[in-house]
Structure 1
Amino acid sequence: MIIFRKKISLLLIISATLSFQSCSWMSKRKVLFEEEGSSSTQESSKPKTVNGTVPKAQYDQLLGKYEALLDKIKSAEATSSSKMANTPASPKSDSDMITQLSKIQPPADLAETVDVFGKNGLANKIPAPAAMETTTSRSKLSDSALERQINTLHKADKLVRQNRMDSALILLRDLEESPNPQIKVRAKYYLAEMLFRQNEYDLAMQMYEEIIKKYAFSGLVIKSLGRLIVCSEKLKLGKKQERYYSILHDFFERS
């Protein structure tokens, strides 16, 4: 009887020990599971970083800068378009811009053009007295003739905006030969706009470049620079786009 009681007591002690160890093991596993879960949650909550370049973001940044410049262009146009003097402007900032614009010489991106005022151009083959006589006779324009050309210019501009390109072309071709430089440069600009609207970016680019080289006194130079940036982008001429953008940016930085 005593031995039986001792066996029962021993079994109770063993079962109690086993149950205690089992509870201890379960509590340890629970703690480990909670730690693993918290660590995995922390890792998943960390922001994922992706290495690599983002060219679209850079493009959007450049586009934003260009749109900001366009806003400045619109405000500058209101001031520059009101100046209809026939003589070039004389401030130092304008002369600096003219000097910088004169350095632009497209090497081979576009088709070659003939420079009549170059070393072997047509102007050097005309004797000096004859050249002076031709210039003097062509520079005379009466007030009534000037008024007619201005009205014709407004009519051509309206036709361009209405996409009536054939009718506008007839008027602008005559105005392009005007002895008045302001009429002449505006006729060339509207011709360039016609080509631009018809997606003829390469031909339009040549005319815009002619404006900024030969008619730097005109307020249309700023508009032409803006168009040249767009044409360069359409034709995928990255160096030209960067060059014209830099000129436009530097001009507004000085002003």
Structure 2
Amino acid sequence: MAVYDLLRLPSPDVREVIARMPVAVIPFGSVEQHGAHLPCGTDVFAAEGVAKALAEKLGCLFVPFGPYGTTAPHVGLPGTISLSRSTFEGLIRDISHQLIDGGVKLLIMLNWHEAHSSAIQSVCAEVQKETGAKVVLAHAHFVAQRIYAPEGGRLTHAGSIETLAVMAHDPSLVHADRFKTPHRTAKAEALDAMRRSHEVYGFVTDVRDLSEDGWYGDPTWAKPEAAVHFTDRVASEVANRLFEVWEVLGVDRPNPATASAA
């Protein structure tokens, strides 16, 4: 199956792909520090890699959002660039409305950044209510956590699963010679569990409350042989869940587009 990347397609081809498959996948990452061993674009590479694989499986349009997002806990550390929530939400809203005006009937928001969750969810609900198009939100980082947890992988900042994601994108961007044990604070484990609770929780507004180094986890867990299958494994599981969600929503399962790829 081809990848129908909006940036690489001429306008008539975009129209043709949407006419045959009115679905668009939009990835959301973040530009933020990931220690000395991973690049500041880690979340972007992870989100775009899984989103492209998903779009290829579905035969639908892949629409880059741009690298930036909201990442306040990392502000002040070199390489971090954070948008305001209003700017971030405004971009999502504008892009979504224009895609829908162009014929897209189903938007798939593919997220790889926890700090985005509330903002994206809020805009998704608004866009669906305002336009009548269906919007589905997929948190690919949590999908990856579920897949790799039985194998020892953990979803920590710049840790095992994120290192695996960067290996899948470009192994040369992983600086294995800089791997070390991060200096976690005494309350790091408790704070991390608290902020991820789905019931009663507080907030961590500075990543250094978890680690003096700004990252935590075990990057040595990630291996090149596992990275080869990373994007496909995560995208396949997201696709399986999408089909379940679409059935509940009463959305017909789309048929893959067959237009020539760029």
Question: Could you state the TM-score of these two structures normalised by the residue count of structure 1?
Answer: 0.22
Higher relative contact order (CA 8 A, sep 6+): 2
Decide which structure has greater strand share: 2
Larger radius of gyration: 1
Question: Could you state the TM-score of these two structures normalised by the residue count of structure 2?
Answer: 0.22
